[in-house]
Structure 1
Amino acid sequence: MKVSFVSEQTGSGGLNEYIKHHLGHNTSEVFGQSFHVDTWAVSLVLGLVFLLWFGLAARKATAGVPTKGQAFVEMILEFIDGQVKDTFHGDRRSVTPLALTIFMWVVFMNTMDLIPLDLPGTLISATAGAEVAHHTYFRMVPTADLNTTFALSVSVFFILIGHALSAKGAMGFGKELLTAPFHAHGPMKFALVPVNLVMNIIEWLVKPVSLAMRLFGNMYGGELVFMLIAGLLGSWITFVPGVLANTAWAIFHILIILLQAFIFMILTVVYIAGARESH
């Protein structure tokens, strides 16, 4: 269960200040732009945890009776590979590892939403004092940051371009952009070139935007609900209903965490399959 309290660090602003504080990022200026240090740090640590976990599992894997840890990792691998096999009918040697990485990394980042909102502030208060904690921002959910979801989706976008070029070649890919989806012959063939190009550009750009916005919207909304429920925990009158609401939402949110990671992963595979096919 995720427990959060409208703590003393919010001062007299109540729930509004509490939410505003927890929506703030620990930022640093890089090349004149705001860089979210907390998002980067949590994402990096979780990515390394995933690599360490699966790397050690692969090194310790045996052909005999697997341990519980090895069996769990193998179950995840078989599940992901099965999903890729059902969706992508080409060479899966590079697609399955990509799908596995996306799914596990997004699950790890989404799961940070189940960590108590006040945990960073509590740890900072215990080490540096409450005044420092009040002025320190640290968001634990990287996927509730639009920068993270767009970074993931833009990476997927360039991977799609790579698959399209690999399958069709530069000339074939360029020709498809100009001649599909509306095919014609004669003078109309050249008249439809601008229309086809605009339609294809929109189609390609919609993919990363939809991937990013879907994941961000669900995780940001879930995080905001936890913050609103925290308002109930600030009073003894509403404390019990708040705990019940918090528990119910946390249990339901586990489904959202897994589902959003699965959707991001499976759509990536679907888009790769589409990028390699000809119109």
Structure 2
Amino acid sequence: MASGAELTSKEYITHHLTNWRIGEGFWAVHVDTLAWSVLLGLVFLFSFRAVAKKATTGVPTKWQCAVEMVVEFIDSTVKSTFHGKSPVIAPLALTIFVWVLLMNFMDLIPVDFLPWTAQQVGAAMGYDPHHVYMKVVPTTDLNMTIALALGVFILMIYYSIKIKGVGGFIKELTTQPFNTPWLYWFNFILEVVALLAKPLSLALRLFGNMYAGELIFILIAMVGIFQLPMHFVWAAFHLLVIPLQAFIFTILTVVYLSMAHEKH
């Protein structure tokens, strides 16, 4: 960024990894994470809706082909993974996959471009550029990945109770792996830990991989004149990481919801 020359390496990295926030402590709001995630969600909704409205059985456009490939891929994945019956799971999987994919793809934008732009806007409005922050990859914010995983966790609990009933859900937590009354308390501890580990692993896996990728891009940006070839090499590798992380989050969501639909 323009002010990067005035910052030490530590300050440069810290500036890039700091969110634009309002408030303090638990009630702090990461405005950049919310703004970019909502914007990318709207991009997904309106672009797919436009394709659905203009879809034709004739020669499709390239964008229609791309959308159909994504829809068919998610549809086949859900059919092979989800063993229950629900009209919600396939649309949910499609939404998660495309939304997370778009948020991950923000990592390929040069790390200085949008933060520098935000600094110029802030300077024009009278703010100190050094105190203008813009973190543009929502999935590198642990708050975002935990929020996504929390939504999945709520659905897991909802469908577990809906399919099995309250009594069946409690029985599932207390009678396995040891179906002995005096070990129900031990089973409950094991099952609750396993249940909580699912959304936690979802959130941390996505966050950790994307945060590490962003950090490497930042380090490459500090190299100087050699950053361009290094950036393209890492970006080429990152093209594999970005859809892979979106797919892993999606497939694990479908697996967890499929487990919640099991009646036994």
| Common fold: TM-score over 0.5 | yes
Q: Which residue of structure 2 lines up, in the alignment, with residue 164 of structure 1? A: 160
- With the length of structure 1 as denominator, give the TM-score of the two structures: 0.88
Shift of 1:31: 9.3
Indicate the residue corresponding to 1:246 in structure 2. Answer: 231
The question of whether the paired residues in 1 share the 8 Å contact of 2:140 and 2:210 is answered with yes
Which residue matches 2:214?
223
| TM-score, normalised relative to structure 2 | 0.93
Query: What residue in structure 2 maps to residue 120 of structure 1?
Result: 114
2:78 equivalent in structure 1: 84
Which deviates more from structure 2 when the two are superposed, residues 52-61 or residues 33-42?
Answer: 52-61
1:9 to 3, 7, 21: 3
User: 2:145 aligns to what?
Assistant: 149
Q: Is the 8 A contact 1:10 1:21 kept in 2?
A: no
Aligned pair 1:173/2:187, yes or no?
Answer: no
- Give yes or no for contact 1:103–1:261 (8 Å, CA) kept in 2: yes
Cα distance in 2 for partners of 1:141, 1:120 equals: 11
Match of 2:40 among 31, 36, 46: 46
Cα distance, 1:16 vs structure 2: 1.5
Q: Which one of 16, 28, 34 corresponds to residue 22 of structure 1?
A: 16
Instruction: Kindly state the Cα deviation for residue 30 of structure 1 after the two structures are TM-superposed.
Output: 7.6
Task: Identify if the C-alpha distance between structure 1 residues 122 and 13 changes in structure 2 by more than 3 Å, giving closer, same or farther.
Answer: closer
Q: Distance in 2 between matches of 1:77 and 1:53?
A: 13
- Which runs of no fewer than 5 residues in structure 2 stay unpaired? none
Matched, 1:276 2:261: yes
Distance 1:227 1:30, change over 3 A: closer
* Closer, same or farther: CA 209–232 of 1 in aligned 2, 3 Å: same
What CA distance in whole angstroms lies between the structure 2 residues aligned with 1:209 and 1:117? 28
Partners of 1:34 and 1:134 in 2: CA distance: 20
8 Å Cα contact 2:104/2:210 also seen in 1 = yes
**Secondary structure, in 3 states, of the residue corresponding to 1:277?**
coil
Q: Following the alignment from structure 2 to structure 1, what is the Cα–Cα distance between the partners of residues 240 and 86?
A: 27
Alignment partner, residue 255 of structure 1: 240
Contact 2:103 2:139 in 1 (8 A): yes
Distance 2:133 2:119 in 1: 12
Which residue of 1 is the match for residue 202 of structure 2? 211
Contact 2:115/2:135 (8 A) holds in 1: no
Q: Distance in 1 between matches of 2:85 and 2:47?
A: 26
Deviates more, 1:123-132 or 1:199-208: 123-132
- Over residues 196-227 of structure 1, what are the superposed CA-to-partner deviations in whole Å (9 max), with x where a residue is unaligned? 11111011100000000000000000000011
Residue range with higher mean Cα deviation, 157-166 or 12-21: 12-21
Distance 2:233 2:53 in 1: 39
- Structure 1 residue 72 corresponds to structure 2 residue 57: no
Distance in 2, matches of 1:195 and 1:65, equals 61
Once residues 193 and 221 of structure 1 are traced to their aligned partners in structure 2, the CA distance between those partners, rounded to angstroms, is 41
CA RMSD across the alignment: 1.9
In structure 2, do the counterparts of structure 1 residues 35 and 51 end up closer, same or farther at CA, with 3 Å as the change threshold?
Answer: same
2:155 matched to 1:191? Answer: no
Q: Secondary structure at the match of 1:91?
A: coil
CA deviations over 1:50-107 (Å, ceiling 9, x no partner): 0101111111122333332222211110000111111112225211101100000000
* 3-state SS in 2 of match to 1:138: coil
Kept in 1, the 8 Å contact 2:118–2:134? The answer is no
Residues 119-174 of structure 1 deviation map (CA, whole Å, 9 limit, x = unaligned): 12332354453864322001000000000000000000001111211221122111
CA distance in 2, matches of 1:175, 1:77: 37
Change (3 A) 1:14 1:31: closer
Structure with higher Rg: it is 1
Identity between Structure 1 and Structure 2 (%)? 49
Q: Which one-letter code corresponds to 1:145 in the other structure?
A: D
Residues 156-193 of structure 1 show CA distances to partners (whole Å, capped at 9, x for unaligned) of 0001111211221122111211212222xxxxx22111
CA distance in 2, matches of 1:194, 1:70: 54
Size of the aligned set, in residue pairs, is 262
